């Protein structure tokens, strides 16, 4: 029986037995481990770091050199910290998941034309798997992409698109929504790209800008306001969810109309 089913709000991690607080963490340290002496020092440093993270006792269960100057570790230990479920904040989906026919119907009724979506990955990001999964007909996870919706016109610009070009093409296409997928996260490149997109569209269009949606595996859905966009989608997002959001945001049902 789960903690929620038992009515508990304070929980500890589970490792070997319920409530033992055992966790497993991994990290890399800029230390070599090619010789026996280097390995001993590196593992000692990893154990010390784990202890300072609150894992006590902590055991280094795996260490592997990554090139001549770095070592990757897996550490297993007991965390003293507790989690209070009452304090957990989550972003809940505020719109229903709609069948494709309903998405098309709402767009047709509200706009009287196709809903135009322009998508891309920007800057140095060369990954198109995410944006293609949402936009292309083949879709993702058994769901067809936005190109399969009769009332949605998709313009997929692909990868490494300069932000200025994204703004210009969205303007030329009279886009209702712009979807940007970012996978590269080193030095928060995805966050920087999202803010650049927001700033560029605000400068070009003011409050009349298209709906801005960003997504990728390292985005937190709670970041939308901070990034200056309308919606953030994280890992596991499917075309069905994005299509339902577009209908919710751009083609809502009139008040009092049954879904």
pLDDT digits (tens, 9 = 90+) for 177-222: 999 988 766 677 788 888 999 999 999 999 899 999 998 878 888 8
Q: CB–CB of 239/144 below 8 Å? A: yes
Co-location of 142 and 196 in the same domain: yes
Residue 94 is assigned to a structural domain of this protein: no
Co-location of 78 and 143 in the same domain: no
pLDDT for position 128 = 84
Of 63, 86, 109, which residue sits at a domain end? 86
pLDDT band at 259 (very low <50, low <70, confident <90, very high): very low
pLDDT band at 171 (very low <50, low <70, confident <90, very high): very high
Q: Give catalytic status of residue 138 as yes or no.
A: yes
Q: How do beta strands 152-156 and 115-120 pair?
A: parallel
pLDDT digits (tens, 9 = 90+) for 33-78: 999 999 999 999 999 999 999 998 999 999 999 999 999 999 999 9
Residue 22 is assigned to a structural domain of this protein: yes
pLDDT value at 258 more than 60 = no
- Exactly one of 52, 64, 89, 138 is catalytic; which is it? 138
pLDDT value at 123 more than 90 = no
CATH number of the domain residue 52 falls in: 3.30.30.60
pTM listed for this prediction: 0.78
pLDDT band at 1 (very low <50, low <70, confident <90, very high): low
Q: Which domain holds residue 140?
A: 100-250
Residue 187 is assigned to a structural domain of this protein: yes
Co-location of 104 and 73 in the same domain: no
Mean pLDDT over each residue of the chain, to the nearest integer: 90
Co-location of 113 and 234 in the same domain: yes
Co-location of 14 and 140 in the same domain: no
Co-location of 79 and 136 in the same domain: no
Co-location of 148 and 227 in the same domain: yes
Co-location of 66 and 122 in the same domain: no
Q: How do beta strands 55-66 and 70-79 pair?
A: antiparallel
CATH number of the domain residue 171 falls in: 3.40.50.280
Residue 255 is assigned to a structural domain of this protein: no
Residue 259 is assigned to a structural domain of this protein: no
Count of domains in the chain?
2
| Inter-CA distances, 207 with 85, 174, 200, 228, 229, Å | 38, 15, 12, 12, 12
Peptide bond into 57 cis (omega under 30): yes
């Amino acid at each position: 029986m789960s903690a929620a089913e038992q009515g508990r709000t304070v929980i500890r991690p589970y490792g070997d037995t319920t409530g033992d607080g055992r966790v497993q963490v991994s990290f890399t340290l800029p230390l070599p481990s090619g010789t026996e002496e280097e390995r001993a020092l590196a593992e000692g440093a990893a154990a010390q770091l784990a202890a300072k993270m609150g894992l006590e006792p902590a055991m280094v269960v795996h260490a592997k050199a990554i090139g001549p100057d770095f070592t990757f570790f897996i550490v297993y230990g007991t965390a003293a910290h507790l989690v209070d479920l009452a304090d957990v904040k989550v972003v809940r989906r505020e719109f229903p998941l709609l069948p494709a026919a309903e998405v098309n119907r709402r767009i047709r009724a509200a706009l009287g034309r196709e809903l135009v979506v322009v998508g891309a990955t920007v800057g140095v990001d060369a990954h198109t798997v995410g944006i293609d999964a949402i936009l292309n007909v083949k879709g993702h996870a058994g769901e067809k992409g936005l190109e399969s919706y009769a009332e949605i016109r998709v313009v997929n610009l692909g990868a490494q698109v300069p932000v200025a070009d994204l703004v210009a093409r969205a303007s030329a296409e009279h886009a209702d929504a712009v979807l940007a997928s970012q996978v590269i996260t080193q030095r928060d490149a995805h966050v920087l790209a999202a803010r650049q997109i927001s700033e560029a569209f605000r400068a070009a269009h003011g409050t009349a800008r298209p709906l801005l949606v960003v997504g990728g595996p390292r985005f937190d859905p709670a970041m939308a306001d901070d990034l200056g966009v309308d919606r953030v989608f994280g890992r596991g997002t499917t075309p069905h969810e994005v299509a339902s959001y577009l209908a919710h945001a751009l083609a809502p049902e009139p008040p009092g109309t049954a879904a």
